[in-house]
C-alpha cells in the first residue's frame, strides 16, 4: 500500500494555528528544515512524531490522515474536468496545492460549482431574494453530515441519557420505547394498514400509526424516531449550531437526518455497540441480530463510531439502487465518493445486485494507490401493493485496507489476488485497459483508428500537462 502523505495536512493545521515552521519545529523538538521536508512529503513521520503532532496541533489522528484534503482533491478534479468550463488540463500539483493550502477556497469553488449546476439544470433555483444561491437540499444535507464526520456527541449523550432511563435489554427496547411514549407523552402506538405512509402521527387522537408492512426492526426505529422528536429537540438544535442551510427544505432535511441519527443511537448505544462490533469483528448480520435492528441500520451505525478516545474502524456507508443512484453516503474511512457523477461499474456495489441476499467482498484500489476493503449486500423493502416491484438497494460498507484485518470479511482473503482497480467515475478515470468503461476520460484525447479495434471501448492518448 502507498505510504500516507500528510505533509499538506500538517501545513494546513500549522497555518490555522498561526505558527511558523520554526515555531512548530521547536515545539516538536525537530529542526525547521526537517519539518519543511515533512510538509513537502519528502520525509516519513514516525509514530512518536505523529502522536506529538496530534498533541501540539490539537488534532486527532483521523484529522492528520489527510482525509479532508483527499476528498477536496477528488471534488476539485471533478469540477475542473467538466468540459462545460472549457479549461485546459489542470496540473495535478495545482489541485493538490489548492486543497492543502487553501481548503476554504476549494470548498467555495465546489459550492459555486454546485450552484451553477442547479442554475443550469433547474431555472427555478437560481437565487433567493437576498441573492444567495439555492443549493439542492440533498447535497446540503450530505455536506452537513460529511463535514462533521457523521458523528454528533450531543445526540449521543441525549440518546444515552434516555437509554439509561429506559434500562431495557435490546430484545425489550421496542416495548420500553412504546411504554415511554404512552406513559410520558400520552401517545399510543397502533399498527394498521396504511396505503401511502409508513409512519404517521395523529395529534388529534395522540396516536402514532405504523404501517403493518413494516418489519419489527423498522417499527422499533420509527418509534425511536418519534421519541427523539419529542425529547431530543435541544440536542438536535445544538447539533445544527453553526449551520446555515440555504432553504427551509434543507433545514428540515438536516433536522430529520439528525433525528434519524438520534434514533439509531438510542437503539444501538455507542459503547455497547462499539464493544459488540469489536467482539464480533464487524459482522453486520451478528450486530443486527444482537441489537434487533435491520442490516442497513447496523451498517449505517458503523459509520458513526468516531468518538474521541473510543473510535471504531473508520467505515464508509453507501446505499444505491439498481439504476446506480446513490441516495445515502457517509465516509469516515476517507473513501472519495464521486460528488457529481456516477460510480465505477467495476465496484462491488453494482455486482451485488447479481446475487441478491449474498454478501460480496472486494479489495478496491483507486488510481492513486489507496485501497479499501468493500462489503456489499442487497436489501429488499416490501412492495406497496401486488404487482409492484419491491424496492431493492445495495448496502455497502468498507474501510481502509490497513484496518481490514479487524473485520471478519477479510478472513482468508488474499489482498493481492483480490484487488480490483476501480476509479471514481469513468470520466475521471484514466485506466486505459478497462473493458467496463462507459465514457472516455475528460482529460484525454481519443485515439481513433478505423484499422484497430481494441478490447477496451475507448483508446486515448495521455493528457497534456502544463
Q: φ and ψ at 252, to 5 degrees?
A: -65, -40
CA–CA gap between residue 401 and residue 69 (Å, rounded)? 19
In order of their start, the domains of the chain are: 7-125 (1.10.260.40), 135-267 (1.10.10.2910), 310-424 (3.30.450), 430-466 (no CATH)
Tell me which residue has cell 460529511.
146
Nearest to 76 by CA among 89, 95, 100, 101: 95
As a dihedral over the C-alpha atoms of residue 356, residue 358, residue 359, residue 361, rounded to 10 degrees, the angle is -80
pTM assigned to the model: 0.74
Contacts for 329 with CB less than 8 Å, ≥ 6 apart? 142, 316, 317, 318, 319, 337
- Residues facing 371 on adjacent strands: 365
Give the angle 226-183-253 at the CA atoms, nearest 5°: 10
The whole-angstrom distance between residue 228's C-alpha and the CA centroid of its chain comes to 23
* b/e 294-305 (16+ beta carbons within 10 angstroms → b): bbbbbbbbbbbb
Distances from the Cα of 287 to the Cαs of 273, 314, 398, in angstroms?
Answer: 8, 17, 16
pLDDT digit string (tens) for the chain, length 466 residues = 334 567 778 887 888 788 898 999 999 999 988 888 888 878 878 878 888 888 888 776 666 666 666 777 777 877 776 666 766 667 777 877 777 767 778 878 887 877 676 565 544 344 444 445 556 788 888 888 888 888 999 999 999 999 999 999 998 999 999 999 999 999 999 999 887 888 999 888 899 999 998 999 999 999 999 999 999 999 999 999 888 888 889 999 999 999 999 999 999 999 999 999 999 999 999 999 999 999 999 999 999 998 988 999 999 999 999 988 888 888 766 777 766 556 788 899 999 999 999 999 999 998 878 899 999 999 998 887 788 888 999 999 999 999 999 999 999 999 988 889 887 777 777 777 777 777 777 666 676 667 777 777 777 665 544 4
Q: Pull the grid cell for residue 17.
A: 494555528
Amino acid at each position: 500500500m502507498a505510504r500516507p502523505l500528510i505533509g499538506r495536512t500538517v501545513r494546513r493545521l500549522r497555518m490555522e494555528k498561526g505558527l511558523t515552521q520554526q515555531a512548530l519545529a521547536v515545539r516538536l523538538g525537530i529542526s525547521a528544515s526537517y519539518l519543511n521536508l515533512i510538509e513537502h512529503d519528502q520525509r516519513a513521520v514516525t509514530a512518536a512524531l505523529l502522536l506529538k503532532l496530534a498533541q501540539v496541533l490539537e488534532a486527532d489522528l483521523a484529522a492528520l490522515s489527510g482525509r479532508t484534503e483527499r476528498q477536496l482533491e477528488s471534488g476539485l478534479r471533478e469540477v475542473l474536468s467538466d468540459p462545460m468550463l472549457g479549461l485546459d488540463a489542470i496540473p495535478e500539483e495545482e489541485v493538490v496545492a489548492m486543497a492543502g493550502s487553501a481548503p476554504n477556497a476549494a470548498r467555495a469553488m465546489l459550492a459555486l460549482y454546485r450552484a451553477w449546476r442547479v442554475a443550469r439544470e433547474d431555472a427555478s433555483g437560481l437565487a433567493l431574494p437576498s441573492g444567495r444561491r439555492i443549493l439542492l437540499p440533498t447535497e446540503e444535507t450530505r455536506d452537513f453530515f460529511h463535514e462533521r464526520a457523521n458523528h454528533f456527541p450531543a445526540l449521543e449523550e441525549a440518546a444515552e441519557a434516555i437509554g439509561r432511563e429506559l434500562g431495557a435489554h435490546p430484545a425489550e427496547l421496542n416495548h420500553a420505547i412504546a411504554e415511554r411514549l404512552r406513559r410520558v407523552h400520552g401517545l399510543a402506538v397502533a399498527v394498521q394498514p396504511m396505503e401511502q405512509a409508513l409512519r404517521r402521527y395523529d395529534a388529534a387522537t395522540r396516536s402514532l400509526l405504523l404501517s403493518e408492512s413494516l418489519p419489527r426492526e423498522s417499527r422499533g426505529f420509527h418509534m425511536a424516531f418519534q421519541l427523539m422528536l419529542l425529547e431530543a429537540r435541544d440536542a438536535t438544535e445544538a447539533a445544527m449550531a453553526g449551520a446555515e442551510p440555504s432553504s427551509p427544505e434543507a433545514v428540515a432535511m438536516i433536522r430529520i437526518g439528525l433525528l434519524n441519527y438520534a434514533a439509531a443511537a438510542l437503539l444501538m448505544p455507542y459503547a455497547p455497540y462499539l464493544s459488540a462490533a469489536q467482539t464480533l469483528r464487524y459482522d453486520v448480520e451478528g450486530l443486527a441480530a444482537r441489537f434487533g435492528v435491520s442490516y442497513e441500520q447496523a451498517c449505517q451505525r458503523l459509520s458513526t463510531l468516531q468518538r474521541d478516545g473510543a473510535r471504531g474502524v473508520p467505515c464508509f456507508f453507501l446505499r444505491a439502487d439498481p439504476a446506480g443512484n446513490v441516495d445515502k453516503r457517509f465516509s469516515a474511512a476517507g473513501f472519495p465518493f464521486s460528488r457529481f457523477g456516477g460510480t465505477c461499474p467495476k465496484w462491488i456495489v453494482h455486482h451485488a445486485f447479481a446475487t441478491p441476499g449474498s454478501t460480496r467482498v472486494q479489495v478496491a484500489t483507486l488510481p492513486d494507490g489507496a485501497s479499501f476493503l468493500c462489503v456489499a449486500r442487497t436489501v429488499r423493502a416490501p412492495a406497496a401493493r401486488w404487482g409492484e416491484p419491491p424496492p431493492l438497494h445495495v448496502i455497502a460498507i468498507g474501510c481502509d485496507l490497513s484496518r481490514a484485518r479487524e473485520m471478519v470479511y477479510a478472513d482468508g482473503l488474499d489482498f493481492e489476488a483480490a484487488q480490483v482497480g476501480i476509479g471514481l467515475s469513468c470520466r475521471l478515470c484514466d485506466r486505459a485497459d478497462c473493458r467496463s468503461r462507459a465514457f472516455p476520460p475528460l482529460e484525454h484525447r481519443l485515439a481513433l483508428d478505423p484499422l484497430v479495434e481494441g478490447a477496451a471501448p475507448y483508446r486515448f492518448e495521455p493528457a497534456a500537462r502544463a
